Amino acid sequence: MFSFSGGWPAYVPVAKRRLQAEKKIKALSKKGQVVSPIKLDGKTIAKTFWGKAWCNNLERYNDYENRLPRGRTYVRNGFVIDLQITKGQVKAMVIGSHVYHSSISIQKVSLKRWKSLVESCTGQIGSMLELVQGKFSKSVMEFMTHEATGLFPDPKEISLDCSCPDGAYLCKHLAAVLYGVGARLDQSPELLFALRHVDHQDLITAVSTMPVLKKGRRSKKTIQESGLSDVFGIEIEK
């Protein structure tokens, strides 16, 4: 039901929306639909290197800053009831005054940029475990997260769409989905590479082309997991 002629839905209290979210998830599951809601442990949206890096990148977008706080609130309240990530695409359902369908398309990273990243990281990522856990040198972190040459997309590479009546380019539902991606990367960081249409295995196989190190030469010191937040951590709780 709409509250006035402008077409905006009536306000629904947070507690009621949470209940609606749980009911909708159960109803979809009963119908056989596989849903993947974003459920946080506490208020922290992202805890790992890749999730934090994604959220940190979002917060450098000047065009998004006015809507990001509402998005954080929505994802923390469990309103993103389904989020699916495939190659170059994010599709989600978000509980607001109604259930809204949101979609995000991300352009393929340029071959030139990807080759540059692979070359820059050659020999500095020793295993897939190091890659997915973010346990590598500060220089690799800087290569991967650099705003101009790294792996994360620019706003111009992102297309947004939501079924809600908000005419803004980035509504709160889409903002919640963007943060939801950060939370999902905590669990499956390889999905970031799928979003940019590249194969994360390239960063590992590149090691085989690296010249053998001379005896006594040490590889660059890697950063322990406990120190990642000091080097690249962000506090999302606001």
Q: Which of 69, 187, 33 is nearest to 25 (CA)?
A: 33
160: helix, strand or coil: strand
pLDDT at 105: 97
pTM surpassing 0.85?
no
Which residues partner with 92 through β-bridges?
Answer: 83, 102
pLDDT at 206: 57
Torsions phi, psi for 19 (to 5 deg): -65, -40
pLDDT at 236: 38
Complete DSSP assignment for 103-156: EEEEPPPPHHHHHHHHHHHTTT---HHHHHHT-S-HHHHHHHH-TTTSSSPPGG
* pLDDT tens by residue, the chain, 238 residues: 333 344 556 677 778 888 888 888 888 888 888 899 999 988 999 999 899 999 999 988 877 778 899 999 999 999 999 999 999 999 999 998 889 999 999 999 999 999 999 988 887 777 788 788 787 777 888 888 888 889 999 889 999 999 999 888 899 999 999 999 999 999 999 999 999 999 988 887 654 444 433 444 433 333 233 333 343 343 434 3
